[in-house]
C-alpha cells in the first residue's frame, strides 16, 4: 500500500535500515518521494535495498557502517548529508539484540541501541537545525515498558532510549526539532529473531504468540506508516512520545 504522504524533497537518514523495520521504513519513505540514506553493517542487505528500491534507487544512498564504532557513525552522517544535500529526519533504528546475561550483550546493546542513537543525533544536529521540519525518530520496544526476564540488556537499553527520547525532545524543542520513539511489539520478518525462533524454539514462539491479542506477530510494514506520520507535518505538535505498535501485546504484560 502506498503511504498517504508526500515527502518529495525531504532528506531521510536511517541508521540500521537494510532489513526488517528499518528496511520497511526506508522503502516507505522512498515510495513517498524522499531522498533516503541508509547504513548497515552487512553489504548483502544494502545491495538488496538497492534492488528493492527499483525506480526509486536514484534517491537512495547506501553505506556500510558499524554503529558500535563512533568514527564510522561520523563518516556515515557526513556522507549521508553530502549525498542528500542535508538531513531533515534522522531515524535511529539499529539494535544489538542483546538477549544473553553477559558483558558482551550488555556492551553491545549499550553501544548500538543507546549510544549509536546519541552519537548519530549529536552529529546530525547541525544539519537538522538547518531544516524547516526536522525530527528524530528512535526505534524502541514494548520490552522497555515493564520488567522482564527475557533479554535484560535489550530491555534496559531500550528503556534508557525512551528516557533519552523525552529528554532530547525537551532539549531540542527550542530549535523546533521534534523527537519521538516507536515501540514495536514482536515483529516477524525473514531471518529475523521471531522467524528463527519459529523453527529453533517453537514452544517459545507459541508462548509469545499467545500474549498478542490480535493473534499474530506484526510485520515491518505495519511499523513504517507510523514513522512517516511522525515525520510529517500532521505530527507537527507531537514530541517526546513513545508510541506502541503491538497488536495490543503490551496490554497483557
Pair type for strands 178-184 and 135-139: parallel
Give which of 64, 123, 71 is closest to 94, Cα–Cα. 64
Tell how far CA 210 is from the center of its chain.
Answer: 26
Residue showing cell 526476564: 149
SS3 253: coil
Catalogue the active-site residues: 154
Contacts of 197 (CB under 8 A, 6+ apart): 204, 205, 208
Ramachandran angles phi, psi of 102, nearest 5°: -145, 165
The helix (H) or strand (E) run that includes residue 182 is: strand 178-184
Amino acid at each position: 500500500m502506498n503511504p498517504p504522504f508526500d515527502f518529495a524533497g525531504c532528506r531521510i537518514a536511517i541508521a540500521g535500515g537494510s532489513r526488517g523495520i528499518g528496511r520497511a521504513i526506508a522503502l516507505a519513505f522512498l515510495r513517498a518521494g524522499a531522498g533516503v540514506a541508509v547504513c548497515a553493517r552487512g553489504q548483502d542487505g544494502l545491495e538488496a535495498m538497492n534492488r528493492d528500491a527499483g525506480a526509486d534507487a536514484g534517491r537512495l544512498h547506501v553505506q556500510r557502517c558499524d554503529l558500535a564504532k563512533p568514527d564510522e557513525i561520523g563518516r556515515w552522517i557526513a556522507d549521508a548529508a553530502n549525498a542528500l544535500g542535508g538531513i531533515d529526519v534522522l531515524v535511529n533504528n539499529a539494535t544489538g539484540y542483546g538477549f544473553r546475561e553477559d558483558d558482551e550483550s550488555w556492551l553491545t546493546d549499550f553501544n548500538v541501541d543507546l549510544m549509536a542513537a546519541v552519537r548519530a543525533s549529536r552529529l546530525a544536529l547541525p544539519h537538522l537545525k538547518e531544516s524547516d521540519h526536522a525530527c528524530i525518530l528512535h526505534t524502541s520496544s514494548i520490552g522497555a515498558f515493564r520488567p522482564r526476564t527475557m533479554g535484560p540488556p535489550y530491555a534496559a537499553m531500550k528503556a534508557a532510549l525512551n528516557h533519552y527520547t523525552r529528554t532530547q525532545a525537551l532539549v531540542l524543542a527550542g530549535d523546533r526539532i521534534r523527537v519521538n520513539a516507536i515501540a514495536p511489539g514482536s515483529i516477524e520478518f525473514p531471518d529475523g529473531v521471531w522467524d528463527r525462533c519459529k523453527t529453533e524454539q517453537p514452544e517459545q514462539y507459541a508462548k509469545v504468540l499467545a500474549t498478542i491479542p490480535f493473534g499474530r506477530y506484526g510485520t515491518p510494514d505495519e511499523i513504517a506508516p507510523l514513522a512517516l506520520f511522525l515525520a510529517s507535518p500532521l505530527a507537527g505538535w507531537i514530541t517526546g512520545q513513545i508510541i506502541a505498535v503491538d497488536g495490543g501485546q503490551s496490554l497483557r504484560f
